[in-house]
A and B are shown apart, each in its own frame.
Chain A
C-alpha cells in the first residue's frame, strides 16, 4: 500500500488524495453527488451500471468513477449537462426493465428514477420468468433485478462460495443460483449476504416479506450464537422480531452475518419458550406455579442441602450464552450467598 499523495483537479478545484483512491471516493469526500447502483464499498468496483460516469479530460468518453483511480494531473468533472443527460437516460433504460417489488423493501433504483424525475419509460421490456424456491429464507423477485451483480460479487468475493451466477447474455441474462438450482442445493450457505447487498429488494428475506422496512424499529445488540460477537440490529414490529440486519463498518462483522445470525431468530418467539415457572410435583411432573412459589421452592431446596451437607455440596453451572451481568451475579450468588467456589461454566476454549 502506497501512501503517496496524488494531486488532481476535480470540478475546478485541485484536490489531494492518497494514491489508489477511486474517483468515486474522491467525489464523495468532496460532497459531489455521483449516483451509483452497482457499487458497494465492501466489493471490488464493477463499473457495470454506468451511473457514476464522470468526465475526464483526454478520455474518449466518460469513465466510471468507481472503477477509475485518481492519478496525477487528471482533470475530472463530476457533473455536467451531458453527464446529467446520460445518467438520466441510463436510469430510464433500467426503468424499462425494472419492476419494483411489492413488500416494503427499500429500492435504490426507484430513488434514482425519482432523482432524475423520470416519467414512463419509452419502452417496456417483457417480464422475466418468475423464480420459485422452497428454501425458507431467501426469496428472489426476478423482475426487480437490475443485474448489478452485487449479490453475485458478494458471493464470489466475500463468501467465496460462488452460489450465484450471472447467467446467459443479452436479453436473456439473469442472476440465478448457480446452475439454476435451489438455494438449498448449491454451495450456498444461506448467509443472506446477497440479500443485504441487493439494492432493489429483488433478493429478499422471506421471513420479513411484506413488512415495510421503514415501519420497523431497530435495536442494536450483539448476536447470541458464536464468539465472534457480530453487532446486529434487531428489526422489530409490533413487539416482534421480524428481521436481523447488520450495518457496514460496525462491529467485528463489518455488516456481514452468517445464516444463524441473520435468519435463526425464530426461537425468540417460539411457542416452546418457557413462560411460567415450573415445579416438579409429587406426581413427578412439572407444574406451573407463581414466581413466589418457585422462589420459595428454590430457597427451601438450596437451604436444606446447605444445612444438611454444607455449602460445598451445591454446584453452580453458568452458561456462556448469558450476559456478563447474569453470570457475574450467579458466581456472586454461589460465593457470597451460598459460600462455595463450586461454580463453573462449559468453558472449553
Chain B
C-alpha cells in the first residue's frame, strides 16, 4: 500500500525509472539468507550534476530516513551508502547523521562502518585508508523481520564515472573491477552478493522520505535542478518538472549576462547532449525533452555562453566518455574513442554511412547505458549543429 504512494516519482539518477515499481519488485522477492539490501547511489559523477552532494551536506538525515523507510517496506536488513570519494565534507555529514540515527534507534549500533570500493587498477583515487571490500558478505546482527533497526554502512566509491552505473557499483562494492554486469538478472533480483537489492539515487530517497512522511503529496512534480555554467547564480534549486530552461535560468539562476550570448546548453547532465538556444523554451520534463531528442536525465542544466562552441562541448563530453569507458565491451571502448577523435578533429570524419553504422553498433551492442546512450550526444549534434559534424 505504502509503496503505491510513491507512484509518480521517478528515479533521479538519470534513467527515470518509476520508483514504486522498483520498490515493489524488491518487496516481492523472496528473502534469502543474508536478507535484502538497500543501496543509496551517492556516486554522483554525471558532469553538470551536483544536487546529491548538496543534499548530503544539507539534509543527510532525510536521505537516510528514506533508506530506512525503504528497508522497512521491502524487508531489507542492511543498507549502504556508496559515496563518491571526493565528497569528504558529505562523508562527515553522513557520519554525523548516522550516529544520530543510531542514537534515535532508527539504525542499529555499529552502523557507519566504512570500506573502500574497488576501482580500476592504475587509476589513482584519493580517499582515506579504509579497509578493502570484504571477501564475503559480512555477517550482521540478526534483525527483526521488519528490518529494524537497520544496519547502515558507507562504502567509498572507486573514483570512476562508471562506478555510478548500478551494477558496476555493485562490482566495486564486492571488490572487483567496476565493470557493469549483464542484465538480467537485475539488481532487484540478484544484486549485492546475489541478494535482492534496491538501489536508488540520493535524491530519490530524499523525495521518497518527503512523500512518505506526508510533506509532499504530488510525487514527481518537482526536481532538484543543478544549474551551472554561465549563469549569475549557479546552484541547486527545487523547481517544478516542466519549467522551461529560460524560466529556470531567469527565476532561479539570476539570468545569463546576455541571452543572445548563449551558445548552447545541456538539459540533464552531459549524457543528455547539447541543445541550441532555440530550445530554451522547451519544458524540462521527460515529454518536453523527448520532443527535442533527449531526456531530463539528472536534471543537470549547464549553460554555455559564446565564444564556447557547441562542438567543443560535445567533444569534451565524448572525450570524457571515451576516458571513462570501463573498457569491457568493444562498442563503448572503441566507439567512444573514435567519436571523440572525430568530433575533436584528431581524425577526419569518415563518410556518414560509416558513422551511422558505428553509432548503431554502440546503441545496439554496448553492455550498459554509458555505451548505448553516448551516441545521443553525436546524434544531437547531427540534429542541431549539423555543420559541425558529419
Contacts and interface: CB of A to CB of B under 8 A. Distances in A.
Contact of B333 (A85, A167, A173, A179): A173
B338 A96 contact: yes
Contact of B358 (A67, A89, A125, A166): A89
Interface in B330-359: 330-331, 333-338, 341-342, 347, 350, 354, 357-358
B365 interface: yes
In the complex, which range does the number of interface residues on chain B fall in?
35 or more
Interface string B61-77: 00000000000000000
A123 B350 contact: yes
A47 B341 CA distance: 26
- Which of A67, A86, A122, A147 has the most chain B CB atoms inside 10 A of its CB? A122
Interface string B91-131: 00000000000000000000000000000111100000000
Contacts of B326: 169
B298 interface: no
A148 B338 CA distance: 19
B231 interface: no
Nearest to A165: B121
Contact of B365 (A90, A97, A122, A172): A90
Interface stretch (B140-148, B188-196, B272-280, B317-325): B317-325
B327 A147 contact: yes
Interface string A76-98: 00000010011001101110110
B323 A169 contact: yes
A144 interface: no
A61 B367 CA distance: 10
Interface in B140-195: 160, 162, 177, 182
B365 A169 contact: no
B58 interface: no
| Overall SS of chain B's interface | helix
Interface string A156-190: 00000000011111111100000100000000000
A64 interface: yes
A172 B329 CA distance: 14
A50 B333 contact: no
B4 interface: no
B361 A171 contact: no
Contact of A86 (B329, B350, B364): B364
A255 interface: no
A171 B329 contact: no
Nearest to B367: A47
Interface string A11-54: 00000000000000000000000000000000000011110010
B357 A89 contact: yes
A261 interface: no
B140 to A, nearest CB: 29
Contacts of A49: 329-330
A168 B122 contact: yes
Contacts of B350: 122-123
Contacts of A173: 325, 327, 333
A96 B360 contact: no
A50 B368 CA distance: 12
A199 interface: no
A67 B326 CA distance: 18
B203 interface: no
Contact of A123 (B324, B336, B347, B357): B347
A147 B337 CA distance: 15
Nearest to A37: B330
Contacts of A62: 364-365
Contacts of A64: 182
Given A61-B363, A85-B360, A123-B347, A168 B330 contact: no
A269 B219 CA distance: 80
B328 interface: yes
A85 B323 contact: no
Contacts of A82: 360, 364
A165 B372 CA distance: 26
A89 B372 contact: no
Given A166-B177, A168-B120, A169-B123, A86 B360 contact: yes
A61 B327 CA distance: 20
A61 to B, nearest CB: 5
Interface in A283-319: none
A94 B334 contact: yes
A64 B324 CA distance: 23
A47 B363 CA distance: 16
B337 A89 contact: no
A67 B184 CA distance: 10
Contacts of A123: 338, 341-342, 347, 350
Contacts of B324: 169-170
Contact of B182 (A47, A97, A166): A47
Contact of A50 (B160, B329, B342): B329
Contacts of B327: 147, 166, 168-170, 173
A169 B120 contact: yes
A245 to B, nearest CB: 28
Contact of B334 (A47, A67, A93, A165): A93
Nearest to A83: B364
B364 A170 contact: no
Contacts of A93: 330-331, 334-335, 338, 358, 361
Contacts of B331: 50, 90, 93
26 contacts: A47-B182, A50-B367, A61-B363, A61-B365, A64-B182, A67-B182, A68-B182, A82-B364, A89-B358, A89-B365, A90-B331, A93-B330, A93-B331, A93-B334, A94-B334, A122-B354, A122-B358, A123-B338, A125-B337, A147-B327, A147-B333, A166-B121, A168-B327, A169-B160, A170-B324, A173-B327
Please name the 3 residue pairs, one residue from A and one from B, whose CB atoms are nearest each other, closest first.
A173-B327, A122-B350, A89-B361
